Amino acid sequence: MSQIFVDACFRRPTPHTPIWMMRQAGRYLPEYMAIREKAGNFLNLCHAPEMACEVTIQPIDRLNVDAAILFSDILVIPNEMGMELEFIKGFGPKFPKTLKTQADLDALEVEHAADKLTYVYDTIKLVRKELAEDKALIGFTGSPWTLATYMIEGQGTKTYAIVKKKIATDPEYMHSLLAKLTHVIKQYLEKQIFAGANAVQIFDSWASALEEPAFFEFSWKYMLEIAEHIKAKYPHIPVLLFPKGVSGYLDKIAEMGGNFDVFCVDWSTPMELAKAKLGDTYVLQGNMEPTRLYSKEATKEGVEHIIDVMGTEGGHIFNLGHGMLPDLDPENAKYLVDTVHELTKR
């Protein structure tokens, strides 16, 4: 059975523009909070395939989105490469011991890290069994750059000063780490596909930390290498890239090209601009500002504008330009999905 999300990734005709939402499985849903409570903490939930499966499917049931996204966290990779990981309430993820020295790099598990992520593959298998056949399941990973940044900074950062100091003073260290991560991620995505993922998205959440030449040297290059690897082996699996906050670099992205299917557009990049620069080459995913969901009126206006720009003839997957916020109203999320389906009916 064909999946409208996958069809849209390949510009095949679809009955309407597909929609899903980043962080659609999340804290704004009371049914998510119930499972999250049961799991005890966030990492437990990632480690428990049955519960992770349940929260993956919740937004399909409630919102009727066209794709599910695997419930997991990008930091499970560094965790299985040997770095202790904590999720601190009200603070977020933290690696108490960060990467500093060559010995720290050498100590990382590279060959077998992807093998250890069995709970992710088990979740995918369970979801694929329970999910309606016409709904796609999207697997994902963090980009090498975004993961490397966490591993060196240890936590979220406003200035990225530690990792950028490494870039300025020891770029070889960075490249060595990024190559290790790229190696693990290739295997990780292959195993996700093998378990049943119908598409894979690479999140480069911290792309915007890098000035243009650094972005291409330390991030984009590695994402393209991973995409190339996946597309060569699994041409039927759509690869989606999401470098967040790079609206100034679209000319260079267009110029460089790359073998992937969907370019994901964050809300700080006007859809008109993304379409003009990349719309002929890639299907575009995005990009409604999530806070529009605070009001139905603002939601409708946002949807209409994006559909005005992208049309209803394909080349577009509707999504938010960033993740759902915890205090948004699920009813407005449902209203968004219904409105997109309604307005893009072919």
H or E segment to which residue 130 belongs: helix 118-130
Catalytic residue chosen out of the listed positions 11, 23, 104, 294:
23
Shortest gap between Cβ of 345 and a second copy (angstroms)? Answer: 26
With CB under 8 A as the contact rule, the residue among 1, 101, 169, 172 that binds a second copy is: 169
Shortest gap between Cβ of 278 and a second copy (angstroms)? Answer: 13
Using the rule CB under 8 A, give the single segment among 1-9, 15-23, 102-110, 162-170 that binds a second copy: 162-170
Q: Give the sign of the dihedral formed by CA 119, CA 120, CA 124, CA 125.
A: negative
Using the rule CB under 8 A, give the single segment among 14-22, 197-205, 235-243, 287-295 that binds a second copy: 287-295
- Based on the residue annotation, tell me whether 36 is a catalytic residue of this protein: yes
Beta strand spans in 195-265 (E): 199-204, 239-243, 262-265
Closest CB to a second copy among residues 229, 292 = 292
In the numeric block, which tokens belong to residue 332?
Answer: 């407005």
Alpha carbon distances (Å) from 162 to 139, 150, 211: 30, 10, 15
Catalytic residue chosen out of the listed positions 28, 32, 121, 150:
150
Give the total of residues touching a second copy (CB under 8 A).
36
Q: Establish if 247 lies at the interface with a second copy (CB under 8 A).
A: yes
With CB under 8 A as the contact rule, the residue among 20, 121, 145, 267 that binds a second copy is: 267
- Based on the residue annotation, tell me whether 62 is a catalytic residue of this protein: no
- Based on the residue annotation, tell me whether 128 is a catalytic residue of this protein: no
With CB under 8 A as the contact rule, the residue among 212, 308, 313, 338 that binds a second copy is: 212
Residues 6+ positions from 287 with CB-CB distance below 8 Å: 265, 266, 267, 269, 271, 274, 306, 319, 320, 321
- Residue 262's identity, in one-letter code, is V
Indicate the SS3 state at residue 23.
Answer: coil
H or E segment to which residue 33 belongs: helix 30-39
- Based on the residue annotation, tell me whether 170 is a catalytic residue of this protein: no
Residues in the chain: 346
Closest CB to a second copy among residues 107, 276 = 276
- Residue 267's identity, in one-letter code, is W
Catalytic residue chosen out of the listed positions 7, 36, 188, 222:
36
Closest CB to a second copy among residues 15, 248 = 248
Shortest gap between Cβ of 289 and a second copy (angstroms)? Answer: 4
Q: Establish if 89 lies at the interface with a second copy (CB under 8 A).
A: no
Using the rule CB under 8 A, give the single segment among 141-149, 185-193, 204-212, 227-235 that binds a second copy: 204-212
CA pair distance 86, 79, nearest whole angstrom: 9
CA pair distance 192, 114, nearest whole angstrom: 10
In the numeric block, which tokens belong to residue 159?
Answer: 């200035």
Q: Shortest CA distance to 320 belongs to which of 153, 298, 342? A: 298
CA pair distance 61, 52, nearest whole angstrom: 15
With CB under 8 A as the contact rule, the residue among 160, 216, 234, 335 that binds a second copy is: 160
With CB under 8 A as the contact rule, the residue among 10, 42, 216, 294 that binds a second copy is: 294
Closest CB to a second copy among residues 137, 320 = 320
- Based on the residue annotation, tell me whether 12 is a catalytic residue of this protein: no
Q: Shortest CA distance to 65 belongs to which of 122, 13, 20, 118? A: 20
Using the rule CB under 8 A, give the single segment among 108-116, 117-125, 127-135, 244-252 that binds a second copy: 244-252
Strand partners, 264: 285
Other CB atoms within 10 Å distance of the CB of residue 181:
27
The site for a second copy (CB under 8 A) is made up of 156, 158-161, 164-165, 167-169, 208, 211-214, 245, 247-249, 251, 267-270, 273, 289, 291-295, 298, 305, 321, 325, 327
Point out the residues that are catalytic.
23, 27, 36, 73, 150
